Amino acid sequence: MRLLTFLSRRRIVLTLALLLCTVPVWAGDGPLERASLKGITSLQALIEPVQPDAERDGLPTSQLEADIELRLRRAGIKVVPLATEVLHVHVNTVKHPDGLVYAFNVSVVFYQVVVPLRDIRNQTSLPAVTWSVALVGVVPTGKLRDVRAEVADLVDQFITAYREQNPKP
């Protein structure tokens, strides 16, 4: 029995390690990253579809989309479908083979169009990550819907950073 528990824990650790590998380290939530949000007037909210098994177990993509867009709008952030600035939210889940738990990671990443200094004369622009946060966790399958609160916390962190740079008039 102890060996089985050890193997199960080992699988969870391996799963978490694999999830961490899927979250590239780009920006962060420091003063420079927050400063990049100054002057943003609108954004597109892009929520990646959740894995089908996670949808069935209580984490529907449609609910995440509704939660996130409502939070942004309530904070006074204009959400438009085709804005060049994008708040990208990705919830990645892996269900343990025994079906009892999910490993998950949540990333909230802000992309905007930038012009590299080396090419400023040509005005070559490209999308770049200028702000991001992420987290990794494990949750019992019956509590998978609680991941919504984790997503909300990270989106709120973005809202705080945005509001710091763009105070309401």
Give the start-to-end residue ranges of the domains of the chain: 2-165
pLDDT, tens digit, 9 for 90 and up, residues 136-157? 999 999 999 999 999 999 999 9
What's the rounded Cα separation, in Å, for the pair 162 and 34?
7
pLDDT digits (tens, 9 = 90+) for 108-122: 999 998 877 776 677
Length of the chain: 169
d(CA 6, CA 74): 46
Q: How far is CA 41 from CA 162, 164, 165, in A?
A: 10, 14, 11
Tell me the pTM: 0.82
Structure tokens at 74: 């309530």
Confidence of residue 2 (pLDDT cuts 50, 70, 90): very low
Residue 11: the pLDDT is 57
Classify domain 2-165 by CATH number.
Answer: 3.30.160
